[in-house]
């Protein structure tokens, strides 16, 4: 049979998405599977179970990345389909999960059709892509490609004060597969857009050109706790005020820079955090992103300048800690074209666009040709329990993934790197 | 003997302050006895024990106020010395405690000298003056004077989700003495200034003229959680940004109004409070104070206007809840003069000044002549573990209290209200 007529089973994909969404389910319909929690373990158990049911050999490495392999007719590095199954605290069911479960859908479709691909296939979920419980985000894929040491990752401390290494052992996902992991022939990630562009512009598939640069900074302000009624304004060293003014500054910065510059103060914690006490301490985060590295550096420099000025003005002590820093990534032009052409061959409207969020694909792009396929997000809602993508778009995206992967397994667009079997 | 030569025992007072500071002691030398906690119970047990050792009859009312009585040579309403023994989370050892323990020192000094005053004496500690764990502040004295119903007070919910009535029962301080409580002949409260004025101006005693008006508002902002990387700035409904801008606004407001206007955003809580998620919800507090009621109302109106404007601009929903509202209070001019003259008669430098913080005295002022004596706070530090007052100033303040109280017990500056014995 021609593989061109193969088609994934949309209902089966939706059923798996629903089943996984029950792990760490929130009362409001969303998902809360922060990395390395009990809920994350439940999600991992479910997905690795499915992988084994499909006859795949599953390996878990030291940071908990799961890689399931399906042999090809030939030896050599596999075409890897991957994403993540952890979520933010107020997550939906598609972010990450859609890419991993579509990978399983590709494998099951091939299995049902009795097809063994020429190159091997791998389906991977990478640990802690979100970084919501512990920085950096994309931790698992970064360790996989050798960009972050395993010991350093194990020593990272979660927002609830736990070490990653101990949490991995606790949930039974501190595996023995080596890191850095074996280099795939190519890497493809299917993901919801998480932004409003495809829907607003009327396209059903996005051929992702690259990923924005990301800069995360944690800012700690040490002022002086004092009585909110008796302390004249000029005597204050108010850490809470500094945090507030910083949030206002970040907004102003994005307005002045315009373009693709975005900025967010998503977390603020004050001490003692009481109505009638001037805060002695504030810890807040600043998330800056831009597709242009020079502009991102300029935004960082302006943040530093702001913090220096306000530290002097308020006579508070300000220290910063870099939680994550990734330069913008450009995907391999052949991968972008392949996704674009595959989508068109399936009759889909397709648009080239950059990813606003960080993705595991940008880490894999360091070691092999990598690309991404986007499907629309209704109203652009993301990291939100009301995140939604139309079922027909989910199915279309998985079919684009299937055909993209088949081109990569059956033809020779790239020269293969050496694959070390784990 | 002439009572004019009586002198309190400074060492004994300091020892009691040290003992009480061990209850709810923080590792950094401060005190954490938030109202109705286990630590608060320990403080109450210690102080009521001392009251009974001095031969006083202790009554506990329904909101946990403790009143210890020492009979006089005549019947009738007592001269009451009072303050509070709860602290903020980052409290020192003097705020409140100094007034209550100086009351015990006055009683012990009289007892040692074999003196029975003409009018009875009472020493009181009022529950939850700080309001840090549950609003309103000055809850106990407000219930005592009939300004707040006992049922409503019992139903108030703490920041950790407990009801005041249940917490009182749990720690054994939901007593049966009736509220409103009996009206004293007069009320005197000795307190540290909690501000920098006396030290900066070089005075050792403050004759307090009144208390600032207080307005506490809790603001809840409901926006939309969304991805911090993929959501263009113009699509955001960022509750965290609104909270930050509000903190910046409050500072700007105090600058523009000047004078005695102070304002503080001491508490900010974001949801989900993650680095890479636009906050869907923010709850923050605004503490506004002024000695002038009209100016305080104007500050409140400008806050409301700001919130309305930013709610429209960001398309977020903003609701407010009044946590506490007290108009400025002027103390009885005869009490101010009495404190001033008594301090001068003891050779102390004395300055008239308003209180920046709320005090139980402002509640008692609703039912009887009330006044306050201030001692300097080193560097004006308050609601801070490094709160400090020089021991010599503590002793002087307690002696001013002793002589002020003796004038009130032995002479007839005021016409007595009717006293209902509890």
Q: Which residues of B touch A232 (CB under 8 A)?
A: 195-196, 262
Residue pair B129/B141 in contact (Cβ under 8 Å)? The answer is yes
DSSP B3: G
Shortest CA gap A218–chain B (Å): 9
- Residue ranges of the alpha helices (H) in A85-138? 97-112
Q: Find, in chain A, the residue whose alpha carbon is nearest to that of B275.
A: A266
Q: Find, in chain B, the residue whose alpha carbon is nearest to that of A240.
A: B266
Tell whether the model's pLDDT for residue B419 goes beyond 60: no
What are the Cα distances from residue A85, in Å, to A44, A53, A365, A404, B231? 8, 18, 20, 22, 21
Q: At what angle do helices A10-21 and A97-112 cross, to 10 degrees?
A: 140
Kindly report, residue by residue over B317-368, the tens digit of the pLDDT: 999 999 889 899 999 999 999 999 999 999 999 999 999 888 999 999 999 9
What is the share, in percent, of chain B residues with pLDDT greater than 90? 88
Give me the pLDDT at residue A1, please: 55
Residue A315: both structure tokens together = 């006579």
Kindly report, residue by residue over A136-156, the tens digit of the pLDDT: 999 999 999 999 999 999 999
Q: Which residues of A touch B90 (CB under 8 A)?
A: 225, 271-272, 277, 280
DSSP A40: H
What does the angle CA B235 – CA B237 – CA B243 come to, to the nearest 5 degrees?
A: 140
Q: Sign (positive/negative) of CA torsion A230, A233, A234, A237?
A: positive
Residue by residue, DSSP assigns B184-249 as: PSEEEEEEE--SSHHHHHT-SEEEEEEE-EEEEEEEEEE---EETTTS-GGG---HHHHHHHHHHH
Q: Find, in chain B, the residue whose alpha carbon is nearest to that of A32.
A: B272
Query: Which range has the worst mean pLDDT, A98-102, A261-265, B193-197, B401-405?
Result: B193-197
Contact A272 B244 (CB under 8 A): no
Q: Per-residue confidence at B417, pLDDT binned at 50, 70, 90?
A: low
Residue pair A31/A84 in contact (Cβ under 8 Å)? The answer is no
Q: Which of B129, B383, B107 is nearest to B264 (CA)?
A: B383
Query: How many whole angstroms separate alpha carbon B155 and alpha carbon B211?
Result: 27
Residue pair B190/B81 in contact (Cβ under 8 Å)? The answer is yes
Give the pLDDT mean for B207-211.
95
Q: Per-residue confidence at A357, pLDDT binned at 50, 70, 90?
A: confident
User: Which of B30, B201, B277, B316 to mutate to probe the A interface, most A CBs <10 Å?
Assistant: B277
Q: Find, in chain A, the residue whose alpha carbon is nearest to that of B218.
A: A275
Helix (H) or strand (E) holding B399: helix B391-410
What is the share, in percent, of chain B residues with pLDDT greater than 70? 98
User: Which of B35, B275, B303 to mutate to probe the A interface, most A CBs <10 Å?
Assistant: B275
Shortest CA gap B352–chain A (Å): 15
**What's the burial of B256, exposed, middle or buried (CB within 10 Å: 0-12/13-18/19+)?**
exposed
Give me the pLDDT at residue B422, please: 40
Buried b (16+ CB within 10 A) or exposed e, B371-387: bbbbbbbebbbbbbbbb
Phi, psi of A261, rounded to the nearest 5 degrees: -75, 120
Give me the pLDDT at residue A282, please: 98
Tell whether the model's pLDDT for residue B60 goes beyond 50: yes
Return the bridge partners of A215, or none. Answer: A288, A325
Residue B65: both structure tokens together = 């106020």
Residue pair B206/B389 in contact (Cβ under 8 Å)? The answer is no
What ipTM was assigned to the predicted interfaces of this complex?
0.76
Shortest CA gap A156–chain B (Å): 16
Residue pair A55/A70 in contact (Cβ under 8 Å)? The answer is yes
Q: Which of A16, A396, A357 is nearest to A197 (CA)?
A: A357
- Residue position matching structure tokens 């009736």: B178
Query: How many whole angstroms separate alpha carbon A75 and alpha carbon A403?
Result: 21
Contact partners, residue B381, CB within 8 Å, separation at least 6: A224, A226, B92, B387, B388
Tell whether the model's pLDDT for residue A196 goes beyond 90: no
Q: Per-residue confidence at A256, pLDDT binned at 50, 70, 90?
A: very high
Tell whether the model's pLDDT for residue B241 goes beyond 60: yes
Q: Which of A333, A25, A389 is nearest to A196 (CA)?
A: A389
**What's the burial of A96, exposed, middle or buried (CB within 10 Å: 0-12/13-18/19+)?**
buried
Give me the pLDDT at residue B1, please: 55
Contact A382 B227 (CB under 8 A): yes
Kindly report, residue by residue over B261-271, the tens digit of the pLDDT: 999 999 999 99
Tell whether the model's pLDDT for residue A199 goes beyond 70: yes
Give me the pLDDT at residue A346, please: 97
Q: What number of C-beta contacts closer than 8 Å exist between A and B?
A: 275
Query: Which range has the worst mean pLDDT, A377-386, A389-398, B44-53?
Result: A377-386
Q: Is B246 left (phi over 0), alpha (psi -120 to 50) or beta?
A: alpha
Peptide bond into B160 cis (omega under 30): no
Q: Which of B200, B211, B169, B160 is nearest to B363 (CA)?
A: B211
Q: Which residues of A touch B226 (CB under 8 A)?
A: 380-384
Q: Find, in chain B, the residue whose alpha carbon is nearest to that of A379.
A: B235
Residue by residue, DSSP assigns B301-320 as: HHHHHHHHHHHHHHT-EEEE
Q: Per-residue confidence at A422, pLDDT binned at 50, 70, 90?
A: very low
Give me the pLDDT at residue B420, please: 46
Query: How many whole angstroms separate alpha carbon A372 and alpha carbon A360?
Result: 10
Whether this prediction's pTM lies above 0.90 is answered by no
Phi, psi of A225, rounded to the nearest 5 degrees: -75, 140
Query: How many whole angstroms separate alpha carbon B249 and alpha carbon A51?
Result: 55
User: Which of B96, B193, B264, B357 to mutate to probe the A interface, most A CBs <10 Å?
Assistant: B264
Kindly report, residue by residue over A125-140, the tens digit of the pLDDT: 999 999 989 999 999 9
Q: Which of B239, B242, B226 is nearest to A30 (CA)?
A: B226
Shortest CA gap B314–chain A (Å): 12
């Amino acid at each position: 049979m021609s593989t061109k007529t193969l088609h994934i089973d949309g209902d089966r994909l939706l059923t798996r998405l629903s089943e996984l969404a029950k792990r760490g389910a929130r009362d409001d319909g969303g998902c809360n599977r922060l990395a390395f929690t009990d809920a994350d373990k439940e999600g991992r158990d479910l997905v690795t179970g499915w992988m084994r049911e499909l006859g795949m050999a599953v390996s878990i490495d030291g940071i908990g990345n799961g890689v399931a392999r399906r042999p090809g007719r030939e030896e050599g590095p596999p075409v890897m389909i991957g994403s993540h199954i952890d979520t933010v605290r107020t997550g939906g069911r598609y972010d990450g999960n859609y890419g991993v479960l579509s990978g399983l859908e590709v494998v099951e479709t091939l299995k049902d059709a009795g097809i063994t691909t020429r190159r091997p296939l791998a389906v991977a979920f990478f640990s802690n892509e979100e970084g919501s419980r512990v920085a950096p985000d994309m931790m698992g894929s970064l360790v996989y490609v050798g960009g972050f040491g395993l010991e350093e990752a194990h020593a990272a401390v979660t927002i609830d004060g736990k070490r990653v290494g101990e949490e991995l052992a606790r949930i039974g996902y501190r595996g023995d597969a080596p890191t850095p992991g074996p280099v795939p022939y190519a890497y493809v990630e299917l993901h919801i857009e998480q932004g409003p562009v495809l829907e607003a512009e009327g396209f059903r598939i996005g051929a992702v050109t690259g990923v924005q640069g990301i800069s995360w900074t944690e800012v700690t302000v040490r002022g002086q706790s004092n009585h909110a009624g008796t302390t004249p304004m000029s005597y204050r060293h108010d850490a809470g005020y500094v945090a507030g003014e910083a949030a206002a500054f970040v907004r102003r910065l994005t307005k002045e820079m315009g373009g693709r510059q975005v900025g967010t103060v998503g977390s603020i914690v004050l001490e003692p955090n009481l109505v009638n006490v001037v805060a002695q301490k504030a810890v807040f985060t600043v998330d800056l992103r831009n597709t242009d590295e020079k502009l991102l550096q300029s935004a960082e420099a302006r943040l530093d300048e702001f913090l220096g000025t306000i530290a002097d003005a308020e006579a508070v002590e300000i220290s910063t800690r870099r939680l994550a820093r990734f330069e913008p990534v450009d995907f391999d032009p052949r991968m972008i074209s392949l996704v674009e052409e595959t989508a068109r061959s399936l009759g889909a409207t397709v648009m080239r666009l950059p990813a606003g969020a960080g993705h595991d694909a940008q880490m894999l792009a360091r070691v092999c040709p990598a690309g991404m396929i986007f499907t629309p997000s209704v109203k652009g809602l993301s990291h939100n329990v009301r995140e939604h993508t139309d079922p027909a778009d989910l199915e279309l995206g998985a079919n684009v993934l299937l055909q993209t992967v088949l081109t990569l397994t059956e033809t020779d667009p790239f020269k293969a790197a050496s694959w070390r079997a784990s």
